[in-house]
Structure 1
């Protein structure tokens, strides 16, 4: 019997905030997953008690090992399994008997390898259900909680991320390690970081509901290779967005046939139709991203800055070209260039050089220093006609990059409006970018990325203020009939449905279809045409002919019995 949602959420709490945990299959061989996991737990000042269980070791890092889970006297909240998949069921049974309700199964060799691996996954799932246990995995990197109350790094990632407000959920463990490295370089912190692998028990839906009530999480990011419960995911997303206002950003792989095939070999996933995913995410309010960089571009905008109240932006730049490019991006992304008030225009006229462009985009000229940026940025933010500010910097010989960065951070702190930056270049602007990122000012390599991120944040804000409409559901669908036709087509290895079968599928789903019939003689053709009523269309009916026009197999505007006979003869001849 499946566990209730309440049990699943209760057990998830012990996964993120255990007071004690056991690493089952621990060893001290550096460079191995079992050793790295226990060392990660110990070196991050985990706030609970750690019990290593190892058949061979007596001590690991000065901690006494137990041979079996049952040998531990005190209660245990969380078990982390790093045994080979062939014996994981034995470890699960011991954990169940011990009363451990929460488990992370790191081990691989389950559904993703097919055959016996699939049977092993079913076996551990049955054990979990028997004892009301909940588990993340198998085939995963693990779980990280940066909350100082826990400080848990139950993973074999190379590093512990800093604390932040972004939660990251991923079906791919290897992607997690790359994301952690990417985020560290940009000073992006996380609240919770979860690799859920094959999601044989705890799914992304369970994790989303947990994060819904997590006070440490402001924005949720999800990487998925397959969606096993579309309606459940949509329902969860709607509830989270409407009740908490937390944005959900998703990266769904398997857009192409080849990508879907790769996903199947990775986590045993079946990727669904990409068009359906797009539509479902749109209905649910989930922001779909095309790549990791875009996902984090939008995430930092929504985490670090307030959501824009409207779509009017001001562009401040020290170079004309990037200002023009950004203007194009603003218009392309459905935003507007703000029109400054007379007061703001007067201040710019008095405070900026005569050669400066005081209209939007504001060009403070290449020799601009921190004082000039201060005037432009602060007054743009102050203007009631401006909903957000984009600040662009290109490094000139006289540009005091770090001071400008510090000034932007200072000014931004005095206003509620969103401010995004783009210090263009790499080595020369690196120190300035570092200042911005440490102060949680969104920074983008390309100015155009500011526009796209602002547009997504604005669209999300608009969505929050609208009433959600429930997707229509139809009960008068003959699903069995449609499935039988499709099943037969697959059985015969057909890549398309002939018109007659396609029409029957449409009828099964309640779509209105034009009357018609299949004629095997001139007389039948005339009879069917007269029954329908002229004019009619006549076309060849054959499984071997897909493109009927190519063989002159279609006749339009057949207006009489005589024309029906002639059309039949012509089609038959062709």
Structure 2
């Protein structure tokens, strides 16, 4: 597909079908943009109603053009687009951009028209971007193609932008122009009837003009393919990617039989995909461009130790607070650096981080401070803040930033605060490749994004772990349970059998269906025990009074057995009761939850987080797509707030995090090999101190065909 997209992005000849001289028409905008943008190939307007468009000879149809056409830009009514595509196919056209709207986005007949468009494109082997898109822009000096109806050609740069929304593209172009941000490629792909975001990422991976990829997405066509391509871009091509994905709303969360299902909102899969592929996710357009320009123009930081240089105390404190919030560390300068700062700064200046060079700072004072600080081995990057004061030489200060940072491979982001007074200084910074942000917090967030990406690229085992398990035994259990039904809920007793086959640390247990079984079961398991109702109709056992803990004798067990049955019948009179499970009482540890569910679009997903009965209230959970790397398992644990508890707090020892990681990877393998598992909970998974493992204290599984 990459070679076919090249026909769209690097055409030697373009036919604009629907080109027009009519003021205000899309046909006029597209042909004018191609001319004004300086397109380096040959243009062929196609319009049967006129002899020329913008002084270029026009042809009645594609078939009438005597030469080879690489790309057709189509701007005709939706009902005739497929006819034009068919004509293009017969002429040997390799690529098409369908700007026309009125397809699946309007429903009804539009869906049928889009299906026909797709069929025609596939029949003739034409790669199609669109329909319902703004168009495409290639800023390569050898092409200079603006095949869109945007208002202007963007500045050249090393950032590629792809978007499902055409209207958003025009806003981004305008905003970027105001901030002097350039693009290598700018692609609006609309309804993605043929070429989708995965195809475009694959193309941009090998594009020599692109170093950073920004994207606006409304959905992802194939989660696993997207993940595969994005990982290739991140780890092999080493190109940072930043995404704005709309639709974070939890409105898509569904009623579910498990904690995992209820916690997995509509956006969980997308968060997981982005995390696993190394993509930075943002919530706003300004963040998308803030981060993108930092990645495009500055080197990555080695670590998170940041220095702040300012001529005003307040903004320095604001930047410090923002740095701490976003996980950055305020660097501790070496004594040698402090001595140099003390020598070159006035006595009233602060030589500690943040460095306050005082309001009357000259550019010489800034230059010395920046240079000394960047040369300090304890500093990984710097943020330079300037507030415009009467004595501030703004342009000269902007000029010293690149000079002070010369030959030092550390990122420097600036915040020359304001708009009017600092405008000339900002131009100098941007000309020299130093991003500027209106406020310090923006610069800090951009630096934090670079640190996260740098950290993501450094460590971890990027291999899949495969355990020796009894896959066939589990397959037979599932086959039996779904033999005569579409779905089946497995109680803990049944779920534990499956978990045992995959090597999970399941506690000893016995199903009691008669009080006479209690003495032998108690002897076999050993007290203390916990007893639980086993019923496919009672999912949340605590709510039904179906769990009794800390049972120390046969007599207590008999009483618990009767009480649990009584509570269960009172809770749901018609519940099918299989018995009461007697289970070894787990030792003291931290309760976490491990779960999985089958996303309808992306397949199996694994969840980890703080467990127990309040899991749905706390919502301290993290999701990943299965199968997953060992690295993904490590990081999904670390991204939860409960990770601090697992590290050991208030005199408690560190927990066995390696045991949790092992269970996560086993679960990833289980749900990958058995797609019939629709939902699965292990809650709680009791985690013991480091080196002592963990235990599955409760479990449930929902199977679906």
TM-score, L = length of structure 1: 0.85
**Which residue, out of 526, 533, 537, partners 2:531?**
537
**Which residue, out of 564, 569, 574, partners 1:572?**
569
**Is the CA contact 1:79–1:103 (under 8 Å) kept in the aligned structure 2?**
yes
1:21 aligns with 2:6: no
Structure 1, unmatched stretches of 5+, are 1-7, 261-270, 490-496
Q: 1:341 and 1:572, CA in 2 relative to 1: closer, same or farther beyond 3 A? A: closer
Once the two structures are overlaid, the 10-residue window that deviates more, 557-566 or 73-82, is 557-566
CA displacement, residues 34-78 of structure 1 (integer Å, 9 cap, x when unaligned): 221111111111111111112322221111221111111100000
Aligned counterpart, 1:268: none
Aligned counterpart, 2:35: 42
Distance 2:493 2:169 in 1: 44
**Is the CA contact 2:252–2:266 (under 8 Å) kept in the aligned structure 1?**
no
**Is the CA contact 1:540–1:571 (under 8 Å) kept in the aligned structure 2?**
no
TM-score, L = length of structure 2: 0.70
Q: 1:530 and 1:414, CA in 2 relative to 1: closer, same or farther beyond 3 A? A: same
**Is the CA contact 1:297–1:453 (under 8 Å) kept in the aligned structure 2?**
yes
**Which residue, out of 450, 454, 457, partners 2:447?**
454
- Aligned counterparts, 1:428-507, within 5 A: 428-466=421-459, 469-471=462-464
How far residue 17 of structure 1 moved from its aligned partner, in angstroms, is: 1.2
Distance 1:328 1:375 in 2: 25
Q: 1:310 and 1:126, CA in 2 relative to 1: closer, same or farther beyond 3 A? A: same
1:242 aligns with 2:251: no
**Which residue, out of 321, 325, 346, partners 2:314?**
321
- What SS does the corresponding residue of 2:442 show, helix, strand or coil? helix
CA-based RMSD: 3.5
- What SS does the corresponding residue of 1:325 show, helix, strand or coil? helix
1:118 aligns with 2:76: no
Once the two structures are overlaid, the 10-residue window that deviates more, 288-297 or 202-211, is 288-297
Q: 1:363 and 1:68, CA in 2 relative to 1: closer, same or farther beyond 3 A? A: same
Q: 1:79 and 1:525, CA in 2 relative to 1: closer, same or farther beyond 3 A? A: farther
How far residue 22 of structure 1 moved from its aligned partner, in angstroms, is: 0.6
- What SS does the corresponding residue of 1:428 show, helix, strand or coil? coil
Q: 1:250 and 1:468, CA in 2 relative to 1: closer, same or farther beyond 3 A? A: farther
1:415 aligns with 2:412: no
**Is the CA contact 2:510–2:521 (under 8 Å) kept in the aligned structure 1?**
no
Distance 1:254 1:501 in 2: 35
**Is the CA contact 1:554–1:571 (under 8 Å) kept in the aligned structure 2?**
no
Task: Give the strand-richer structure, 1 or 2.
Answer: 2
How far residue 556 of structure 1 moved from its aligned partner, in angstroms, is: 5.0
- What SS does the corresponding residue of 1:28 show, helix, strand or coil? coil
Aligned counterpart, 1:191: 184
Once the two structures are overlaid, the 10-residue window that deviates more, 74-83 or 415-424, is 415-424
Task: Give the helix-richer structure, 1 or 2.
Answer: 1
Once the two structures are overlaid, the 10-residue window that deviates more, 531-540 or 167-176, is 531-540
Aligned counterpart, 2:145: 152
Aligned counterpart, 1:130: 123
Q: 1:554 and 1:382, CA in 2 relative to 1: closer, same or farther beyond 3 A? A: closer
Q: How many residues align?
A: 545
Distance 1:509 1:231 in 2: 28
**Is the CA contact 2:297–2:435 (under 8 Å) kept in the aligned structure 1?**
yes
- What SS does the corresponding residue of 1:138 show, helix, strand or coil? coil
1:108 aligns with 2:105: no
**Is the CA contact 1:482–1:508 (under 8 Å) kept in the aligned structure 2?**
no
Q: 1:50 and 1:532, CA in 2 relative to 1: closer, same or farther beyond 3 A? A: farther
- What SS does the corresponding residue of 2:332 show, helix, strand or coil? coil
Once the two structures are overlaid, the 10-residue window that deviates more, 558-567 or 272-281, is 558-567
Q: 1:547 and 1:355, CA in 2 relative to 1: closer, same or farther beyond 3 A? A: same
Q: 1:92 and 1:216, CA in 2 relative to 1: closer, same or farther beyond 3 A? A: same
Q: 1:123 and 1:373, CA in 2 relative to 1: closer, same or farther beyond 3 A? A: same
